[in-house]
């Protein structure tokens, strides 16, 4: 058991190393990459793999692809709160700014039990209408996130019904040029149909509980072409009757160029598995091709 755990950790380290190398490669060589959007406007990568903020999927599709381009991106994020830590790495592809597909691997460290929970998420998003910057009305997209929990024992012990499920969401985003004292203002509102407990890391559903529509929202101000500051909110279900709290964060994102972004945030995840007041930090790096 210890051996396999050790192996998994080594594998994860290896993956992080590969991704970090890829990102460095992108930064240091002049790879001709998709560049058809304004700097910073695609946003970053949320913890379930979709383009978005840190915790909310946005209507924007990942990367800088415009209607004539294809882009790829990869990212790793770490969230560290008092008794838990989430490591996630993923990849995204954007086809002609119409379809986004994504894949993310999550590893969730439960410090009090000295164990890791693992989940894979396959996502797809379709832009239905508009352009974040250029259209009169907000950009609208719909998406799914199909989640497979690989370590279901704890989830079932806590009362979850399923170890695999699919979230559906509809997202709308708009960037208002010069809206706040000349600074660009971005907002996103998403509605998610879900029964995932702590994103799915504690399984799906609970006794007598059904899927429900939950609200997620983000807002940011771009202080320059390169720096965005903002905050997010994500409503959560409480299917396991453990007092699962809504999530919040306040973030700063840095976009030095169209090849890389770095995001840092302060996060408040509330109660996780009945352990209260889980606050801490989030750090994420995305590389774009």
Partner 1 sequence: MNTIKILIAIVFCTLTSCVSLSTDNKQTLYQELGGETGIENIVDDLINEIGNDQQIFHYFAKADITHFRQGLIEHFCAISNGPCEYTGDNMIDIHTGMNVKETDFNHLVDLLINAMDQNNVPHSVQNQLLAKLVPLRKDIIYR
- Stretch near partner 1 under the rule CB under 8 A, chosen from 81-89, 114-122, 148-156, 182-190: 182-190
| For partner 1, the closer CB: 129 or 134 | 134
Output the CA–CA distances (angstroms, integers) from residue 233 to 83, 93, 134, 267, 269, in the order listed. Answer: 21, 26, 26, 10, 10
Q: Does 134 bind partner 1 (CB under 8 A)?
A: yes
Q: Does 3 bind partner 1 (CB under 8 A)?
A: no
Q: Does 248 bind partner 1 (CB under 8 A)?
A: yes
Output the six-digit token pair for 121: 């998420």
Q: Does 80 bind partner 1 (CB under 8 A)?
A: no
Best CA proximity match to 79, nearest among 39, 115, 48: 48
Q: Does 212 bind partner 1 (CB under 8 A)?
A: no
| For partner 1, the closer CB: 1 or 68 | 68
Of residues 9-48, those binding partner 1 (CB under 8 A): 35-39
- Stretch near partner 1 under the rule CB under 8 A, chosen from 20-28, 79-87, 99-107, 178-186: 178-186
Strands (E), the chain: 44-45, 51-52, 70-81, 84-95, 99-110, 115-129, 139-149, 164-180, 183-194, 212-222, 227-234, 247-257, 260-272, 275-288
Among 245, 262, 268, 271, binds partner 1 (CB under 8 A): 268
Q: Does 156 bind partner 1 (CB under 8 A)?
A: no
Distance CA 165, CA 206 (A): 13
Q: Does 254 bind partner 1 (CB under 8 A)?
A: no
Cα radius of gyration rounded to whole Å, the chain = 18
Which residues lie near partner 1 (CB under 8 A)?
35-39, 66-69, 97, 133-136, 176-184, 221, 223-225, 229, 231, 248, 250, 266, 268, 279
């Amino acid at each position: 058991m210890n051996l396999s755990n050790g192996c998994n950790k080594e594998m994860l380290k290896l993956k992080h190393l590969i991704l970090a190398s890829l990102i460095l490669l992108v930064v240091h060589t002049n790879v001709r990459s998709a560049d058809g959007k304004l700097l910073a406007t695609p946003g970053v990568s949320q913890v379930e793999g979709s383009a978005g903020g840190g915790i909310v999927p946005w209507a924007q599709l990942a990367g800088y692809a415009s209607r004539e381009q294809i882009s790829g991106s990869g990212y790793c994020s770490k969230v560290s709160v008092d008794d838990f830590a989430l490591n996630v790495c993923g990849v995204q592809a954007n086809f002609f700014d119409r379809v986004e597909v994504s894949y993310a691997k999550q590893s969730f460290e439960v410090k009090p039990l000295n164990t890791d929970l693992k989940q894979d998420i396959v996502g797809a998003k379709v832009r239905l209408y508009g352009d974040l910057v250029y259209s009169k009305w907000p950009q609208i997209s719909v998406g799914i996130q199909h989640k497979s929990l690989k370590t279901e024992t704890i989830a079932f012990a806590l009362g979850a019904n399923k170890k695999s499920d699919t979230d559906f969401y509809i997202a709308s985003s708009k960037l208002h040029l010069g809206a706040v004292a000349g600074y660009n203002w971005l907002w996103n509102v998403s509605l998610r149909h879900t029964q995932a407990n702590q994103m799915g890391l504690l399984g799906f559903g609970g006794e007598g509980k059904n899927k429900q529509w939950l609200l997620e929202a983000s807002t940011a101000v771009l202080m320059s072409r390169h720096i965005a500051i903002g905050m997010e909110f994500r409503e959560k279900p409480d299917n396991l009757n453990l007092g699962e709290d809504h999530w919040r964060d306040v973030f700063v994102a840095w976009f030095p160029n169209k090849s890389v972004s770095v995001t840092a945030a302060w996060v408040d995840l509330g109660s996780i598995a009945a352990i209260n007041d889980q606050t801490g930090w989030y750090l994420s790096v995305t590389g774009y091709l």
